[in-house]
Amino acid sequence: MKKFSLVFSAAALCLLTACSSKKTEGGMSEAAKKNVDANNAIMKMFETGDYSKAGDYLAADVVDHAGPKGDIVGIDSIKAYFADMGQKMTGMKNDIVKTVADDEYVMSWVKGSATAKVDIPDWGMKAGDSHTGESVEVSKFKDGKCVEHWTFMSMADMNKMMSAMQPPPPVEGKKLPIKDSTSK
């Protein structure tokens, strides 16, 4: 009888634990689903150029670690960066290949494309150049809003962008100081 009671108790505990889980269809929690929806809405903002609902998806103190010159901090700075990209690029498209999420992070494998309207030296693009590439976009969420973002590009795509960038022209008449570390 003790054995039956122990097995029954264990089975009941497993059943109660499984029933109390806040998972939705497909095994994703409500928080993770909300984060994925916010992540997808952020991706769509690039395509539509409508950043009016950015506050619904981005925290006021959000940090984008994928800025071309370093971190972009705060929702107003990020909205300005998005708008600037929209003015420089046309036909922006983000095709999400796969998304993995939990209650804190959303990771999306994205195939993106756009065409430069003007020269964009930070990306090594000239007006009319098209760019197609793949990246993994990682966003951290808190209370349903993105608080941090990182972009991880393939080396091939990064090299393609960098190879188009030209080094700055040398300053005429000036030589760069070269120090020989072997001499005393």
3-state DSSP call for residue 137?
Answer: strand
- CA gap 161, 155 in Å, rounded: 10
Per-residue model confidence as pLDDT tens digits over 40-80 = 999 999 889 898 999 999 999 999 999 888 999 999 999 99
Contact (CB, 8 A) for 151 and 66: yes
- pLDDT reported for residue 172: 72
- pLDDT reported for residue 47: 87
Burial (CB < 10 A; 0-12, 13-18, 19+), residue 114, is: buried
- pLDDT reported for residue 182: 66
- CA gap 16, 153 in Å, rounded: 43
Q: Dig out the tokens for 68 from the structure.
A: 């071309």
Stretch (H or E) spanning 88: helix 75-88
Low-confidence ranges of the chain (pLDDT < 70): 1-26, 161-171, 173-184
- pLDDT reported for residue 134: 92
Show contacts of 1-4: CB within 8 Å, 24+ apart. none
Cβ-based neighbours of 2, under 8 Å, separated by 6 or more: none
Q: What ranges make up the beta strands (E) of 7-116?
A: 58-64, 72-73, 89-101, 105-116
